[in-house]
Amino acid sequence: MLYIGVDLGTSAVKLLLMDGAGKIENIVSKEYPLSFPHPGWSEQNPEDWYVNAVEGIRELTANCDRSQVAGISFGGQMHGLVALDEQDHVIRPAILWNDGRTGKETAYLNEVIGKEKLSQYTANIAFAGFTAPKLLWMKENEPENFAKITKIMLPKDYLAYKLSGVFCSDYSDASGMLLMDVENRCWSKEMMEICGVTENQLPTLYESYEVVGTLKPEVADTLGLSAEVKVIAGAGDNAAAAVGTGTVGDGMCNISLGTSGTIFISSRNFGVDKHNALHSFAHADGAYHLMGCMLSAASCNKWWMDEILRTKDYAKEQAHITKLGENNVYYLPYLMGERSPHNDPKARATFVGMTMDTTRADMTQAVLEGVAFGLRDSLEVARSLGIQIERTKICGGGAKSPRWKKIIANVMNLKVDVIESEEGPGFGGAILAAVGCGEYASVAEAAGKLVKVVDTVEPEAELVKKYEEKYQKFRKIYPTLKGLFQEL
């Protein structure tokens, strides 16, 4: 049988077709626009996701036996607020995960409600990108729109709803709304009351590998697929990517270099970072994970290449990077503010340390290193909790860069395992679809059989030492500039 994984990203929807043995038969990508109505705001039209997903699925399956397609599942950008009215019309553009407008609401939740209570209710504190602060913002700034809400959903759940007619979400994605009691895997009554919403407005929760329904007949006709095709709940993009990289079970690690950057540590048991710098979420395998998320990762490199250097030849630019660990230029990767571990939507990207002999390659290198240092900030929080990580998987667009992988390995002093497929969320979505359709008994079994490590980037002692010195300098830059960022 064949399974479709839908990776609903920030810049594009990537669709992946996989057979039951894990072979990727086809990949299709469809881009859509991203809107920045004000500095620090980030929005999209949910209809763009659906139109492009439908077109992409038709293209994806054009040259296969469509009767063999058994299931569809998802890995989706997290935290976005999609609000529908009683006619199922989208009320306003979706407010995305990297939107920073909710500073006031985030402060209210953390300082008035209190971090201790939030952590008790949800296992997390408020971050600007989470869904609950966005609801409070909408309630305050768009009361007429807020009053129209009958359904609150996350981006990938909008696709599931349009495909199946089932109003659903999964535990991993819902963990990032600040509306769910993560430990007990249910909606938090206290948070619903704080946000002024009811359980009827929130989707039914499923495990990521559970079947929520089948394709609506009219949708099946449009796609050229059977109405018996199962729709499986899916997962937040990072949990789906973790499945797609085999980061399942206790103490496994995955680094994602996508639009955002994450370090994802899977755990058999529920646990909370006492500093609340790392998120404590449910995992797509039915267990839990800790995650550090930086808002701009590969998007920093894309910005630097596309907007500043005006080139699409990323590999050529990186070929000039020859002196790893010796760069005197530093880059703070906070183009959209920052989440982990600083929780500061007003933080901004900054180059520090340029001199007259600074080269184009030095600045390109600084961008790659700045992202690696930012991820290390979250790794250090995990280490402070006694979590010992020796190796990690890696995925995302940035994982295609050999130099970036080498920088990551040495900045973080981790063995970096490269897997056969770098299509983390899409591959993870397809695996969840296969589990939901009974091809495999569990997510752990499927990941164990389908995910293959093809290379390992080893840290080098001398380079680790050089990068340790550089990192200790890097970590002083943000605290020094924090007050200035607030003024700017």
Domains belonging to the chain, first-starting first, are 2-239 (3.30.420.40), 246-420+441-487 (3.30.420.40)
Residue 221 carries which side chain, given as an amino acid letter? D
Per-residue pLDDT, averaged over 180-203, amounts to 98
- What does the alpha-carbon distance between residue 433 and residue 4 come to, in Å, rounded to a whole number? 7
Percent of the chain with pLDDT over 90: 92
Q: Are strands 330-332 and 350-352 parallel, antiparallel or unpaired?
A: antiparallel
Amino acid 294: pLDDT: 94
> Active site residue: 7, 99, 237, 377, which one?
237
Tell me whether residue 85 is one of the annotated catalytic residues: no
Phi, psi of 431 (to 5 degrees): -65, -45
pLDDT tens digits, one per residue of 146-160: 999 999 999 999 999
Amino acid 349: pLDDT: 97
Amino acid 363: pLDDT: 98
Look at residues 212, 485, 176, 453 and name the one whose alpha carbon lies nearest to residue 347: 485
- Does 78 show up as a binding residue in the annotation? yes
Per-residue pLDDT, averaged over 357-367, amounts to 97
- CA-derived radius of gyration, the chain: 21
- Does 342 show up as a binding residue in the annotation? no
Per-residue pLDDT, averaged over 63-74, amounts to 97
- What does the alpha-carbon distance between residue 88 and residue 325 come to, in Å, rounded to a whole number? 54
Asked if the model's pLDDT at residue 422 lies above 80, the reply is no
Three-class DSSP labels, the chain:
CEEEEEEECCCEEEEEEEECCCCEEEEEEEECCCECCCCCCCEECHHHHHHHHHHHHHHHCCCCCHHHEEEEEEEECCCCEEEECCCCCECCCEECCCCCCCHHHHHHHHHHHHHHHHHHHHCCCCCCCCHHHHHHHHHHHCHHHHHHCCEEECHHHHHHHHHHCCCEEEHHHHHHHCCEECCCCEECHHHHHHHCCCHHHCCEEECCCCEEEECCHHHHHHHCCCCCCEEECCEEHHHHHHHHCCCCCCCCEEEEECCCEEEEEEECCCCCCCCCCCEEEECCCCCEEEEEEECCCHHHHHHHHHHHHCCCCHHHHHHCCCCCCCCCCEEECCECEECCCCCECCCCCEEECCCCCCCHHHHHHHHHHHHHHHHHHHHHHHHHCCCCCCEEEEECHHHHCHHHHHHHHHHHCCEEEEECCCCHHHHHHHHHHHHHCCCCCCHHHHHHHHCCEEEEECCCHHHHHHHHHHHHHHHHHHHHHHHHHHHC
pTM of the predicted model as reported, rounded to 2 decimal places: 0.91
Amino acid 403: pLDDT: 97
Asked if the model's pLDDT at residue 287 lies above 90, the reply is yes
Amino acid 343: pLDDT: 87
Asked if the model's pLDDT at residue 274 lies above 90, the reply is no
Asked if the model's pLDDT at residue 396 lies above 90, the reply is no
- What does the alpha-carbon distance between residue 179 and residue 346 come to, in Å, rounded to a whole number? 24
- 391: number of Cβ within 10 Å: 16
pLDDT band at 273 (very low <50, low <70, confident <90, very high): confident
Residue 212 carries which side chain, given as an amino acid letter? V
Per-residue pLDDT, averaged over 24-38, amounts to 96
Mean pLDDT value across the chain:
96
pLDDT band at 275 (very low <50, low <70, confident <90, very high): confident
pLDDT band at 167 (very low <50, low <70, confident <90, very high): very high
Amino acid 421: pLDDT: 82
- What does the alpha-carbon distance between residue 399 and residue 338 come to, in Å, rounded to a whole number? 21
pLDDT tens digits, one per residue of 439-454: 999 999 999 999 999 9
